[in-house]
Amino acid sequence: MTTDRKPTSPESRWIWPFELLEQIGEGGMGVVYRARYVVNGREVALKMLPSDVTDETALARFERELEVLKNLKHPNIVRCFGGACENRRRFYAMELVEGGSLEDKLQEKKQFPWEQVIYFALQMCDALTCSHAAGVVHRDIKPGNFLLAHSGQLKLSDFGLASVADSRRITAAGKTAGTFLYMAPEQIRGQEITDKTDLYALGCVLYELITGTPPFIGETPAATLHMHCQNLPVRPSEKALDCPIALERIILQLLEKDPADRPESAQAVMRQLRSVKQSVVVTRPTPEEMNDRARSGSGATRSQAKSPSSGVPLPGPVEPTNSVPRWVAIALAITLACSLSWNIIQVIQRQSGDHGEMLWVQAAHHSDPDVRTVAIESLGEIHQKTGRHLPVLETALEDIDPEVRQQSAHEIGQGGRRARHLIPVLIRVQKNDADSRVRDSANRAVQNLQGTLPEQKPEEKSWIGWAVAVLLTGVTTLGIYHWFKTSSVPRTSPLPFRHA
């Protein structure tokens, strides 16, 4: 169908009670005009079946579309005002949507941000929920059949007969494939058509909106249909880096070959879409940043560790004293300062470590599989030291990316006794996972947890803390010993003392 605007001839300007203003669309099964309703002057879109069409199937489709639209009343479905037949010309009037189609916007923008895709997808699902509840399967979901109002509201159109452009140009191949780009496998094979057929086409549309290309494009229509039935689509995040992993999962589930593996309904898809949020971008802190944090935490402490100034001795006899020698006091002060500094550094590192752990947990749900793999590796190292975050590693066993699953199985296998309760889960992965690398990794993890592989060497304790503790204990003991030794020995002043 073409969308060139053409003036109407004077003799055909009227089809009562409408004045035809201009032609705004044309196809093999009908012509669409901008028309004015003479009763109140309202402009509408008027679809007319050519008078020379006598095919019974075409006439039945036109009548069926009129009945469907009259019974579907929803903000996201084009409203029908009714139709008639005059001078062997069948026609019906419907709501005029002047913002063009989603297909037009897609050709203009090439692709949409993920937030806008979700905004459109929710409206599409709302329209399909209404249609499916009425027992109507659209069968021709595609960008060209979603009309876009100036307010941004989508309107689903063409329930049985194209009213806007029904062909889709593949610029790269110079071919026209039409609705082949959005056709479900069961539709191609001539099997039963259900609501889930529309959901597959919806997945194709969402894939195209966020990546700029349909999921499958062949050199010929036959090649495209074969890809729909046999090929797996490239993951959307590989073409659109900002695509949230949750949205990607929804799209890939809609594109499942078996209708039973797709979401239960358009309403279920709406619930999933409303929960989509973008993950944060996580970067590993550099060694310089960690050193700066440690220095900033210990510098203030060192500046506060200063020995007090000594007083001036008075002449005359000195009573027996139990004061600690100066060198012992200095040594004790230095040891205390080192101990305090060490403790502060440990607190700072523990706090920064907790914050870093939360970032890695968030990164485990990132849209980029490489980021998820690094996050799982880091969380595995943290689990070996602290025993935390094992549930995150278990969840990653169901990731859509095999490298993430493989890394997760490996890290669980290094978890020791804390991870032994996950052996049944690993055995299930070993038997059922589609990727051989994941199965091998799960097998090694099971063997490691069962103790058939050499145990890991226990992590070496930090010797610095022990050294500080021993030094502090030694200096304190030496000071106390010296204090007891000298407290019983009277000391006299070298200067003579004269009574007044």
Q: Nearest Cα to 429, choosing from 452, 406, 403, 400? A: 406
Q: Cis before residue 17, ω within 30 degrees of 0?
A: yes
User: Among all chains, which residue has been given the structure tokens 């689903």?
Assistant: 156
Distance CA 162, CA 58 (A): 12
Distance CA 106, CA 123 (A): 17
Residues 6+ apart with CB under 8 A from 139: 187, 193, 197, 198
Q: Which two tokens stand for residue 350?
A: 């523990």
Q: Which two tokens stand for residue 343?
A: 């403790």
Residue 239 marked as a ligand binder: no
User: Among all chains, which residue has been given the structure tokens 């592989």?
Assistant: 453
Q: Which two tokens stand for residue 162?
A: 């194209």
User: Among all chains, which residue has been given the structure tokens 């929804």?
Assistant: 250
Q: Which of 4, 52, 55, 140 is catalytic?
A: 140
User: Among all chains, which residue has been given the structure tokens 């086409």?
Assistant: 201
Phi then psi for 67, rounded to 5 degrees?
Answer: -65, -40
Determine whether 368 is an active site residue. Answer: no
The per-residue b/e assignment along 66-102, b for 16 or more CB within 10 angstroms, e otherwise, is: bebbeebebebbbbbeebeeeeeebbbbbbbbebbbb
Residues 6+ apart with CB under 8 A from 308: none
Q: Is 139 helix (H, G, I), strand (E, B) or coil?
A: coil
Annotation: binding site: 47
Active site residues: 140
Annotation: binding site for ATP: 47
